Amino acid sequence: MERFLTTETLIIELLLIVSLVAIAVRRLRIPYTVALVLVGLLVTTQQPIDLRLTPELILALLVPPLVFEASFHINLRDLRLNLPGILLLAVPGVMITTLIVGGIAGLLTPLSWPMAFVFGALISATDPVAVVALFRVLGAPKRLALMVEGESLFNDGTAIVVYNLVVAAAVTGAFHPIAGVLDFLRVSAGGLAVGFVLGWLIAQLIARIDDYLIETTLTTVLAFGSYLIAERLHFSGVLAVVAAGLVNGNLGPQGMSPATRIVLFNFWEYVAFLANSLVFLLIGLQVNIPSLAASWQPVLWAILAVLVARMIVTYGLGWLGNQVTEPIPWRWLHVLNWGGLRGAIALALALSLPEALGAERDLVRVMAFGVVLFTLVVQSMTMKPLLRWLGIAVRDPLQIEYEMRHARMLAFRAAALHLDRMQREGFLSEHAWEVLRPELLARVDRLALDVRALQGAHPELAAKELDTARRELLRAQRSALHGLQRDGAISEEVFENLVAEIDAGLDTGLDGYKAPAPLAGKEQAEA
């Protein structure tokens, strides 16, 4: 009982630290994740915490919600258009990184060659959480954010598979290339298959239920269940979660009510915030400063190796990808290169090194922590100046002003509706309602005039809002068709034809959507 209370107290303390840091960074100009790592370092230097951070805790408890939430919000159509470039960085990129980092570490550090390549494998996965959060704040191009996030989603699974193969070779002392490649394909394909099947099944189940509590619970079961089932079948659990999130995120919301979608998105936003916060705080708590200082030379070589490998992979494979798919601007490649941060996956894999690898495990862990710390602090802190210098992600002041005016108008309109509801339900007297309502409506009218004036002066703002509204209307049509098909009002063939028309409209905008020509004569009579 006492141990349970101690653990519970520690969890509460960590959550309190997370909350205080989140409040503090609103006033400070540093990324939230970086602040958590620095606070973790400060806490562990002042008062070391006896926290047994197992790899199972990170991989099975914290990674699935992070991966699921990220993949859940990725549009499959956008992903499909950029998939060649993403996979090029995520699959060959991981393998090349493993070889380059392993080669440099084997030459310049005390590590043996097998352990050098183990280090190369575990440090090859990127963690762009801090970068993606910065993208959202600064308004980076949507495609660039998709490239960074998509690469991370797929290279996490790839890195874990490669890591397991390299560790097995280091323990046994034998490596069979053909068998290794076949095993890689089996584990990766199996994980993706498990995720796709489970994601589709849960989406079909959600489409037949109208209860936000049950639907939210089902997505939670999917996030953790896909990981566990894939791992039990000896497939990639991370890739299973990626596939499950992609499929469910694109199919599930179509059968949901608007209220359910709001609850579901808010729930996963909170879960991802909590998991992400704990991961980065735990990274700071696990870093041993004296060990880092004692092994500063291998750590520096490790950082150099990772930077060199990332440059070769980004620019080399980026140039190759530009020859076969939609070109990626060279300015974006600079961002992809410097945005290759390391985080939770590298930490978990470093902690999961088996005892059979011997004393070199400790040096590998120290080098991994050093690289993670460098990328999270140095690279993350310099990403914003880099983006501004390249002119990639600079929020338009005009757009900011428009959003502020529009948001104020919507807020006062919501207040007016709430006031009406309070009066209607008897919580407010007629007198108070008659006094307050005209004031609110007057504010709404003034703000509406401000918004229209801004739209009149800058027609592009009105055009953008109109396009967003049109796309939302098409999505509403799609959701209605799902309901009709689910209730048996229309056949599967009719459903697929109509959805194809709507999808075409989403690709081109409502202006490009052409309704089918009306049936004439005999055809109309037959219909």
CATH number of the domain that 203 lies in? 1.20.1530.20
Element of type H or E holding 192:
helix 177-207
Helices (H) and strands (E) in the chain, counts: 24, 0
Q: Are residues 464 and 386 in the same domain?
A: no
Query: What does the pLDDT read at residue 182?
Result: 85
Distance CA 98, CA 188 (A): 17
Q: Are residues 184 and 111 in the same domain?
A: yes
Please give the model's pTM, rounded to 2 decimal places: 0.71
Q: Are residues 66 and 89 in the same domain?
A: yes
Q: Are residues 369 and 235 in the same domain?
A: yes
Q: Where are the alpha helices (DSSP H) in 61-141?
A: 63-72, 76-90, 92-108, 113-122, 129-138
Q: Are residues 443 and 381 in the same domain?
A: no
Q: Are residues 201 and 264 in the same domain?
A: yes
In eight-state DSSP terms, residue 491 is: -
Total domains present in the chain: 2
Q: Are residues 224 and 255 in the same domain?
A: yes
Query: What does the pLDDT read at residue 329?
Result: 85
Query: What does the pLDDT read at residue 46?
Result: 63
Does a structural domain hold residue 80?
yes
pLDDT digits (tens), the chain, 527 positions? 666 566 677 778 778 888 888 788 777 767 677 777 778 777 766 665 655 656 666 777 878 888 888 888 888 888 888 888 888 888 899 999 999 999 999 999 999 999 999 999 999 988 766 677 667 666 677 788 888 888 888 888 888 888 888 888 888 877 777 877 888 889 889 999 999 999 999 988 888 887 888 888 999 999 999 999 998 998 988 899 999 999 988 887 766 766 677 788 889 888 888 887 777 777 777 777 787 888 889 999 999 999 999 999 999 988 888 877 778 888 889 988 988 888 778 877 887 788 778 888 889 988 998 998 898 888 888 888 888 888 776 556 666 777 788 788 888 888 888 888 888 888 888 888 888 888 888 888 888 888 888 777 777 777 777 777 777 777 777 778 777 877 778 887 787 778 777 766 655 544 444 444 444 444 444 44
**Among candidates 271, 249, 274, 270, which has minimal Cα distance to 261?**
249
Output phi, psi for 500, to 5 deg.
-60, -40
Query: What does the pLDDT read at residue 52?
Result: 61
- Structural domain ending residue among the three candidates 352, 373, 390: 390
Does a structural domain hold residue 521?
no
Tokens encoding 430:
């007629």
Q: For the purposes of burial, counting CB atoms within 10 Å of the CB of 203, is it exposed (0-12), middle (13-18) or buried (19 or more)?
A: buried
Does a structural domain hold residue 327?
yes
Does a structural domain hold residue 45?
yes
Query: What does the pLDDT read at residue 396?
Result: 60
Tokens encoding 15:
């959550």
Q: Exposure pattern of 146-158 as b/e (b: 16+ CB <10 Å)?
A: bbbbbbbbbbbbb
Does a structural domain hold residue 310?
yes
Does a structural domain hold residue 522?
no
For residue range 168-211, what is the model confidence (pLDDT) as tens digits?
888 887 777 787 788 888 988 999 999 999 999 998 888 888 78
- Structural domain ending residue among the three candidates 390, 420, 445: 390
Q: Are residues 380 and 401 in the same domain?
A: no
Query: What does the pLDDT read at residue 301?
Result: 94
Q: Is the separation of the CB atoms in 199 and 222 below 8 Å? A: yes
Query: What does the pLDDT read at residue 258?
Result: 67
Output phi, psi for 62, to 5 deg.
-100, -35
Query: What does the pLDDT read at residue 3?
Result: 61
Q: Are residues 270 and 304 in the same domain?
A: yes
- Structural domain ending residue among the three candidates 352, 369, 390: 390
Q: Are residues 422 and 363 in the same domain?
A: no
Query: What does the pLDDT read at residue 312?
Result: 94
Measure the CA angle with vertex 233, ends 230 and 234; round to 5°.
85
Q: Are residues 103 and 157 in the same domain?
A: yes
Does a structural domain hold residue 176?
yes
Q: Are residues 168 and 205 in the same domain?
A: yes
Does a structural domain hold residue 18?
no
Domain range for 511 is 397-515
